[in-house]
Structure 1
Amino acid sequence: MTVLEQLAAPHLTARQDFSAAFVAMNRIKDVLQVDAHVPVAPVFTLCEQVVASPAYQRQKQAYFLYQAAAEALQLVALRPDPGGRSADRRRALALLNSGMDLPHAAPRRAMAEALGMLPLAVDSLPVASEPMAEGVSASLDGLPRCDVDWLAGYHIHCLNGWVWQGRSLLAETRSGEVLVVKCLRAGEEPIALCRESAWMDHLRGLPALVERPFHIPQPLVHGRGVLVQAPRVAQSPPDGTTLHPKRYAIAFLTAPSYFRYPNEAAANRRLDGGQVREILSRSAWLLGRLMAMGIAHTAPIPLFHNRAQRHRREDGGRYRWTHAGRLDRWLASCRYPNFGVSGLRDFEHFEVVTGRSRFRYEIIGSHLISLLLVAGSYFRSKAPDRMGLDLSGQPVDTRDLFDRSLLQTMIGDIYRAYYEGFTGDVFPEGASITPSHLADRMIEEMGLDRHMEEILRVVDQDAMDRFTFTSFLESRGLPRKAALRKTKGQRDIVLMTGPHLGGFNQAISLPELIDFAAAGAARCVAGRFCLEQDRLS
């Protein structure tokens, strides 16, 4: 009898209590780590029984037993295969894959994480460095100002005046392109803008991206690098936009479609369903292809669990979908996605992620969630004024704005395109994907604004000075006079800032979105892992 058989036998012949099963499973993991040749048949039988046992599902700490079982299966999948034991690998991966379809959340989560954190070939490469953000000299005095005379040296002639869009100044040019002057925010370092310019140059040189339309802007470079001073304009930037006092900026030329979004509300700019499907699918493919190369866009849209507590949370309030918490202001987060008609945008958010399997798994899930949220926002943008609570305090019902069939198709397009971009292979026929239930749940939760409240805790108020406190309340929709009347630090303040997906400091109200992200990320990683292993066999 092998060591694994000895460990598994007590459980297989008589039901063990939770603690004994947990200890046995972890000892099995230890054996698998030190003995690459031990027969693994007992591992499969034991793992199947563990995930099927109703007694374990009721345990408070059940996730940790399932995690141990999933990690044991992962170790089997990772064993060297000199004797052609690929059947063991295939069975281990099949068990992990089928575990993601179980009715209980704990084993689904454990199996998805084990698949999603499989190592890939890109992880064994030397850790890639970020593109060099050159052009930040010790002194920033004397930088050129991006005015008419300076632009003439690049043969750029603007047709009309400057227009603010967020923190950027835009101007149409005689060539038909758009000149963008992107300004540094207050409190940021100039190197951040230089890094964005460097990413533009780096991505333009990647041939793997030419398979799908992806316009990459062209930064303007001068003798001292890429930093310039923004042009002097009479109009102020939009409310809530605080810029660096020195007005440091970068300038780049881009296509007019760079600022066309898939979910615009204005009638003269609104896209039809087919156009939005194409944008979502192409964006998913591009995000997936870059991830496979170890390059992540970390913010297709800004995702937060709690914006109000950003300053005192270690995670800055950013959303960790693996925690399945409330998703803050989902509709507002979708207003200006960092992808659109021209492709991906806002290059400041690119980051090298090779060798970080957990981070990769979480980023892929965030990509899928972001794409689905924007898909939902497309339908809501048909009637942007229909939002919040009605006069009787009931959630505004916008479910009639959604096209269920189109949403289902979008979900399928996003998953398929991301899979193909990430794996470099065609989407497998018969792959597990059931968009109908997810579409129904998205319509139910995104179409009814049940969760509108945000709470500004006293502790967060105390961290603000009076000006910041008043500005915060105004930014959350409170009239200025009402904001000035509020006493800082007296009591928690309830603000109606939604819609959110979930109540304040509660779980997400659309857990199906988390399940989709977990299973989708896991199957993308597993798909690429299998292809890489097949090439080695």
Structure 2
Amino acid sequence: MKLSLCKLPLHESVADCLQTRPIDDCHEQTELCRTQALINRGIKDFSGAYMAVKYVAGHMDKYPDTIGADTVNTLTGLIRSPRFEKQKQSYFLFHEAAEALIRLAARVKEPLSKSIIQALNDILYTSHGKRLRAVNQALGELPWEPAASDPWVMDPLSVLPVDLNGLVPGSAAELKQTRWQGRSLIINTSGTACVVLKFATSADNITDLAREAAWLTRLQSSGGDMAAGGFDTPVPIEYKGHRVFTITSDLPGDTPSFLYKQHCIAFSPCPGYYEYPNDPGCLQPMSWTRDVFIKNARILGQMTVKGIVHTALIPLFHNRVQQRRRNDQGAYLWEHAGRLDQWLDSCQYPNFARSGPRDFEHIEQIDTGAGLRHYIGEHLLSFILVIGSVFRNKAPDRRGLTPDATPEDTRDLFDGAAFESMIADVSENYFKGLCKTGLPQELLQTIPRLTRALIQTMGYDEHMEEVLRIQDQNRMAEEQYHQFLYQRGVKIIPPKGQTDILLSTGPHLGGFNQSISVPELIEYLFRFSALAVSHCFLNGKRMSG
């Protein structure tokens, strides 16, 4: 049984230490006890508290085998304490303490490791703001080893020129019907056969398509990686040893102008590949929609815990208009709790359908707890937004501002009980896919409050505006500038670069360059993702013994 020196009277601790350790080690142990006592008594000075935590953390890193529950209680007590929560820099204090505990949990055995994780998980349920973010991001640093490996990708530069009739079964006369859906040409051939040609939109996109074909091949042959019943994937077409092609013949129909040199991959889609759960024209009952969400939540959980991550279930942006000049390209980082740009438009074609996940060019391999934590939160955010769009799509024309310039109020379209139960179903099944266990009851109990907040914001188009800054205008060519404004309903184009231009492009969740209008959603993601990473860590620790 481990004996923590700080639990003994100080003279006994030093005496014991002198018999078993060098003098320098005993001195450090004594200083640890004194520092912990200062923290426990309540240091009022923020800088002093931070330096004290830094000292304790350093000792924990240097002598992990000497640390007991008393040290853990000191740091968790500091994180829980309201003493510094109003300090502007309190995040760094909370994170320093939580991260020290996480480093210790990763190095020691149970029961101490498990008790540390449990203590931090308990803090999640009662925390808000900086404390919640600090504990979440610390838990995201837990080590985690995915089971899957990257697929083998053919050289994307090895592109096979091929005539359309040579790639697609049957002759041109036998083609029954063709239609374009975005950049994909869907070809219905004789019988019930269907082939999809998915085209590149840039030179860099060729590599993405090559990876998509590789993942499709991998998922066809490695069902054990998914262990998810009913997961259908498209069948990639390999022709003369190639998976990436250049179509040399003319393409049927109105070919989109944004294709890149007619480079593409080809696959046979599985049933339900184009059946979206939130399609405005969908005539299926709500039970069908619910089943689609549940199926995809479970599959994506099982994929993600193996390190196979879909990085774009829907396009998420903080600010689309500034993506050319921002380091993050305007992409949404949910941890920052910023405004979510054009949330309803982002849900239009989700990358999951009745068949399961889709658009496999967005699948990547991850191998860190921080990456796992981020994408767990992003997946759940995407699911919740698309569920909200199901209700909004009952009346897709009701959006924006009314004729008297007041926000469109569509809260009557939402069935609160159905919305709440679908969020719970998705959360429960995604968590089971990740962790092989049910979602903690404490988190399930927060869903009714979350649902009410979501209906108030998703159903009321208060935030419609964005601003095209002068610097963003000046980054556009003249033709691009005119097209950008025409697409957003501007009839009279003002001169470029003279003044900021106010545009109505929403609904957004939050005002331009402000925080998200439903902070309850971000708090839910913080708690869910941290709990999931904790369970993945403990599951891996049990498996490794």
The answer for the alignment partner of 1:427 in structure 2 is: 438
The aligned runs of 1:159-308 (5 Å cut-off) are: 159-208=175-224, 209-223=226-240, 225-230=242-247, 232-233=250-251, 235-237=253-255, 242-244=258-260, 246-266=261-281, 269-308=282-321
CA offsets, 1:354-383, max 9 Å, x none? 2x2212211111001001000100110100
The answer for the alignment partner of 1:65 in structure 2 is: 93
What's the secondary structure of 2:289's corresponding residue? helix
The answer for the alignment partner of 2:164 in structure 1 is: 146
Amino acid at match of 1:40: G
The aligned runs of 1:407-422 (5 Å cut-off) are: 407-422=419-434
- In 2: Cα distance, 1:171 partner to 1:489 partner: 45
Q: Does 1:23 align with 2:51?
A: yes
What's the secondary structure of 2:268's corresponding residue? strand
Q: Does 1:76 align with 2:91?
A: no
- In 2: Cα distance, 1:259 partner to 1:189 partner: 22
- In 1: Cα distance, 2:192 partner to 2:329 partner: 40
- In 1: Cα distance, 2:376 partner to 2:174 partner: 40
Q: Which of 308, 329, 333 matches 2:346?
A: 333
- In 2: Cα distance, 1:344 partner to 1:156 partner: 31
- In 2: Cα distance, 1:227 partner to 1:462 partner: 37
Number of residue pairs matched by the alignment: 514
Amino acid at match of 1:196: E
Post-superposition offset of 1:476:
2.2
The answer for the alignment partner of 1:516 in structure 2 is: 524
CA offsets, 1:49-106, max 9 Å, x none? 323433301101011111012112213322332xxxx232232112211111224311
Post-superposition offset of 1:412:
1.0
State whether residues 309 and 364 of structure 2, in contact with CA within 8 Å, keep that contact through their aligned partners in structure 1: yes
What's the secondary structure of 2:187's corresponding residue? strand
Post-superposition offset of 1:133:
3.0
- In 2: Cα distance, 1:112 partner to 1:201 partner: 36
- In 2: Cα distance, 1:448 partner to 1:58 partner: 32
State whether residues 304 and 317 of structure 1, in contact with CA within 8 Å, keep that contact through their aligned partners in structure 2: yes
The answer for the alignment partner of 2:510 in structure 1 is: 502
- In 2: Cα distance, 1:187 partner to 1:477 partner: 31
State whether residues 171 and 179 of structure 1, in contact with CA within 8 Å, keep that contact through their aligned partners in structure 2: yes
Amino acid at match of 1:264: D
Q: 1:226 to 1:185 in 2, by over 3 A?
A: same
Most deviating of 373-382 and 42-51:
42-51
Q: Does 1:477 align with 2:485?
A: no
State whether residues 167 and 239 of structure 2, in contact with CA within 8 Å, keep that contact through their aligned partners in structure 1: no
The answer for the alignment partner of 2:41 in structure 1 is: 13
The answer for the alignment partner of 2:128 in structure 1 is: 104
State whether residues 158 and 172 of structure 1, in contact with CA within 8 Å, keep that contact through their aligned partners in structure 2: no
Post-superposition offset of 1:342:
0.8
State whether residues 39 and 78 of structure 2, in contact with CA within 8 Å, keep that contact through their aligned partners in structure 1: no
The answer for the alignment partner of 2:78 in structure 1 is: 50
- In 2: Cα distance, 1:333 partner to 1:177 partner: 31
Q: Does 1:113 align with 2:137?
A: yes
Post-superposition offset of 1:44:
2.9
Q: Does 1:382 align with 2:394?
A: yes
Most deviating of 335-344 and 208-217:
208-217
TM-score scaled to structure 2, two decimals? 0.89
CA offsets, 1:318-370, max 9 Å, x none? 1111111111000000000000101000010011112x221221111100100
Q: Which runs of 5+ in 1 are unaligned?
A: none
Structure of higher CA gyration radius: 2
Q: 1:322 to 1:206 in 2, by over 3 A?
A: same
Post-superposition offset of 1:210:
4.6
What's the secondary structure of 2:164's corresponding residue? coil
State whether residues 78 and 89 of structure 1, in contact with CA within 8 Å, keep that contact through their aligned partners in structure 2: yes
- In 2: Cα distance, 1:76 partner to 1:135 partner: 44
The answer for the alignment partner of 1:465 in structure 2 is: 477
Most deviating of 214-223 and 395-404:
214-223
Q: Which of 93, 98, 101 matches 2:117?
A: 93
- In 1: Cα distance, 2:227 partner to 2:66 partner: 46
- In 1: Cα distance, 2:33 partner to 2:172 partner: 75
Amino acid at match of 1:260: E
- In 1: Cα distance, 2:174 partner to 2:269 partner: 13
- In 2: Cα distance, 1:353 partner to 1:216 partner: 21
- In 1: Cα distance, 2:255 partner to 2:341 partner: 26
Amino acid at match of 1:295: I
State the percentage of identical aligned residues.
36
Q: Does 1:487 align with 2:487?
A: no
- In 2: Cα distance, 1:48 partner to 1:190 partner: 50
Amino acid at match of 2:372: R
State whether residues 287 and 418 of structure 1, in contact with CA within 8 Å, keep that contact through their aligned partners in structure 2: yes
Amino acid at match of 1:96: L
What's the secondary structure of 2:448's corresponding residue? helix
What's the secondary structure of 2:107's corresponding residue? coil
State whether residues 142 and 537 of structure 2, in contact with CA within 8 Å, keep that contact through their aligned partners in structure 1: yes
- In 2: Cα distance, 1:31 partner to 1:103 partner: 27
**Aligned-residue CA RMSD (Å):** 2.1
Amino acid at match of 1:152: P
Post-superposition offset of 1:503:
0.6
Most deviating of 5-14 and 499-508:
5-14
- In 2: Cα distance, 1:445 partner to 1:430 partner: 26
- In 2: Cα distance, 1:156 partner to 1:524 partner: 51
- In 2: Cα distance, 1:157 partner to 1:217 partner: 25
The answer for the alignment partner of 2:467 in structure 1 is: 455
- In 2: Cα distance, 1:158 partner to 1:227 partner: 24
Amino acid at match of 1:80: V
Q: 1:103 to 1:167 in 2, by over 3 A?
A: same
- In 2: Cα distance, 1:183 partner to 1:106 partner: 44
- In 2: Cα distance, 1:412 partner to 1:189 partner: 36
CA offsets, 1:479-507, max 9 Å, x none? 4xx3xx32111111111110000111111
Q: 1:71 to 1:116 in 2, by over 3 A?
A: same
Amino acid at match of 1:55: R
- In 2: Cα distance, 1:72 partner to 1:284 partner: 33
State whether residues 136 and 225 of structure 1, in contact with CA within 8 Å, keep that contact through their aligned partners in structure 2: no
Post-superposition offset of 1:45:
2.9
- In 1: Cα distance, 2:167 partner to 2:87 partner: 69
- In 2: Cα distance, 1:55 partner to 1:210 partner: 47
State whether residues 443 and 528 of structure 2, in contact with CA within 8 Å, keep that contact through their aligned partners in structure 1: no
Q: Which runs of 5+ in 2 are unaligned?
A: 1-9, 11-28
